[in-house]
Amino acid sequence: MNLDFTPEENAFRDEVRTFIKDNYPAELRKAQDEGRALTKEEYLLWHKVLAKKGWVAPSWPKELGGTDWTPTQKYIWSEETARADCLGLMPFGLSMLAPVLYTFGTDEQKKRFLPGIYNGEDWWCQGYSEPGSGSDLASVKTTAVLDGDHYVVNGQKTWTTLGHFANMIFCLVRTNREAKAQSGISFLLVDMNTPGVEVRPIITLDGDHEVNEVFFTDVRVPAENLVGEQDKGWTYAKYLLTYERTNIAGVGYTVAALEKVKRIAMAVRRNRRPLIEDPIFASRLVKLEIDLENMKTTNLRVIAAVAGGGAPGAESSMLKIRGTEIRQELLSLARRAIGPYAQPFVEEALLEGYAGDPIGPQGSAALTAQYLNNRKLSIYGGSNEIQRNIISKMILGL
């Protein structure tokens, strides 16, 4: 594989940079700089700009609105959007559900759901995890019983990211209790406005409302919303997860984050010299950079395989493991670099009678929040321990 960019590819990079500079929504940039929680409308601003340009779904087939970019162009796009600190597009519809629909869905399902995903008119969330069924998705207990031309759904999903914004949810449901675990699961599309669907917020330690619980009580879902065959949903779920794991790796984000850590380490001084000259800190940073270069090569291979008509395989598990570990280590190094300023709160704010600002120095609170929030990266999308089992089975035959 030739990893050198051609003149045409470098020209494409320049085109991307110019487009972002001229078209990234100023309102969204302001909201990001303020570090506050985004509204649903703000989340969709960049999505709608890209949909109008025709760049919102680079990996979709050309006939469905994809860009027909080469694997290298897709890589450049991810790298440049991360470098410019563009808000990541919500993956649930665009890069998780859509590949399942255009691969296994009916023509009617493609016509009905793909345009809404592309234009941002439908906000999808993921109904996989349940209390007691996280990495072991084969143990899901939410049931769907066929009643005439509808499925009646009962159960609970949890950790549903931004489910309070969603109007649609794709779910794993148990349709056959007699079959072995994986064989009795189906893949169902549910309108969140259907009677019997209830969304309850889960407030995380930082006070943020990002995840939710979703309850289903006698929810009637048209049978035409079943994707593929009944009881074969495990096949489609695994297919979707390979795309999710590739996205979680966040190669473009990690490249940008590494540069940020370097800037911090050059600015911070310890013992009268830049932190980046500290042998222990520098060795950890160099190791990360080497790991990242290896991951970038693997990412290009995965993109090339998908572009050739394949789907991410065990490589997506490799990316998920290394990508999440590298992202967590980068944030750990950043916190070490800013030292005591990494406190999420001013220490005095814990004392009775304190009337000042409880938040630490500007930027430090956001960094600490990112560090804490990203501890979950090695768990969701299938824990890294599960990914190692997948690699052992698919590649080593163990």
Neighbours of 53 (CB within 10 A): 11
Helix, strand or coil for residue 292? Answer: helix
CA 235 to chain centre: 21
How far is the C-alpha of 58 from the C-alpha of 296, rounded, in Å?
18
Contact of 240 with 137, CB cutoff 8 Å = no
Angle between helices 71-83 and 7-23 (to 10 degrees): 40
Compute φ and ψ for 270, nearest 5 degrees.
-130, 130
What residues contact 326, with CB distance under 8 A and at least 6 apart?
Answer: 254, 288, 291, 292, 295
Write out the two tokens for 157: 């999903």
Give pairs for 337-341: CB < 8 Å, separation 24+.
337/261, 337/264, 337/265, 337/268, 337/275, 337/281, 338/264, 338/268, 338/364, 338/367, 339/268
Known catalytic membership, residue 244: yes
Return the CA Rg of the chain: 22
Q: Which of 244, 289, 315, 385 is catalytic?
A: 244
Compute φ and ψ for 44, nearest 5 degrees.
-90, -5
Buried-state track 150-187, b at ≥16 Cβ within 10 A, e below 16: bbbbbbbbbbbbbbbbbebbbbbbbbeeeeeebebbbb
CA 24 to chain centre: 20
The continuous run of DSSP H or E covering 222 comes out as: strand 209-222
**What amino acid positions are annotated as catalytic residues?**
244
